[in-house]
Each structure stands twice: as C-alpha cells, then as structure tokens.
Amino acid sequence: MRFSATIDDPKAFEDIQKAAACAAAFLGDDELTLKIFPDGIAFVCATGFHDGFFVEIKLLEHEIFSAFKMEGISAEKPVIIMQVQHTQLIQIFHNRDDQVKIKLVKRNNQPKLTAEFKSTGVLKTIPIKMVKSVFLDDYMSPVINQPIVGLIIKQMDAFHTMHQTFELFKAETNVCLFY
C-alpha cells in the first residue's frame, strides 16, 4: 500500500486542523484514527462495532489536496487505516504558508508518516500504528445515504459529547439517530 499527498492551500490546512480537533475532542483522547480512501481521508471516531458509536469526518481529495495518490489497495481492504497521535499530526499542518508533502513510508520495518516541507526542506517523521484487518469492521462506514450523518448512540452522555463536537466543527448537517 502506498499513499502520498500534497497540501498547499492555507484553507486546506485550517480544514484539516478543525477536523482533527473535532475528532480528538469527541474521543477525548490524543490518538486519532485516520482512514485513507482512494478519493480522500477521514478522521474516524469509533468504538466497538456492536456496542458503541461511529463518527467519520471525511475530507475529499479535491477539497484539501493539490496532489493525491493511493496505490496497492486490495478488494478485501480498500482503505488504509492507521492510528496517529493528535499532537504530532497537528504539528504537520501548523505552518499554513508552506507546501507539505505527506507520505506513508516504512522505516526499520515500522510504518511511519512523513511530511516534507517545501520551503525549508525539513522532513518530519511520525510513528503510526496500522489497524489490523481483524478490526477493520469497527472502522468501516455504515451505509447511509449522503449527506446524512448517521449515529448509533447507546448512552445519552455520548449524545452530549457528539453535540459539543458538532458545535466545535460548526457543522451544518442532518442528524439521524438510531436506537
């Protein structure tokens, strides 16, 4: 599996920062789950498939990236799913006046996400954890017609957290609840 993308628009940096902040605020954790599709990326907030919730903040290729390339995916696993520290990921998108090329690489037999800053030539590498295929169902999007956000909520305090997250993201969306 290969992935590389280039970001050079200040608005795109801001959008990624907001999406990551919303996902981190919703989960209350510093570890984010990043899902890479052939047509974009998503921040996933998920707990176990049968007993939790699922929220996906998807950013499409044409909305964020000036260049985007994903290769080597299979029919069984059409996405790349990884976990990354929120604070380390935000550092990559902090300098809005630069062009950043992001790439999935393997160093010392460990997966890493690298960011190359064009103006300075600096290369930043952050560790990631790939999500194993056995847990793939926990991170796959439920099938719901677009542009509806579907929520499966087991606890009312989860709804309060969800509402606060959408307020932070200033999301204008239809919300569909399933009990």
Mean pLDDT for the stretch of residues 65-80: 85
How big is the chain, counted in residues? 179
Q: What is the DSSP letter of 133?
A: G
pLDDT at 145 over 80: no
Q: What is the DSSP letter of 31?
A: E
Query: What share of the chain in percent tops pLDDT 90?
Result: 21
pLDDT at 91 over 90: no
Distance CA 175, CA 11 (A): 26
At 37-70, the pLDDT tens digits run 888 898 887 665 555 566 788 888 988 899 999 9
State residue 176's pLDDT score: 46
State residue 7's pLDDT score: 92
CB 38 within 8 A of CB 45: no
Distance CA 1, CA 116 (A): 19
Q: Domains, the chain, ranges and CATH?
A: 2-178 (3.70.10.10)
Give backbone dihedrals phi and psi of 138, rounded to 5 degrees, phi first.
-65, -20
At 95-132, the pLDDT tens digits run 766 899 999 999 999 999 999 988 888 889 999 998 87
CA angle 139, 140, 142 (to 5 degrees): 120
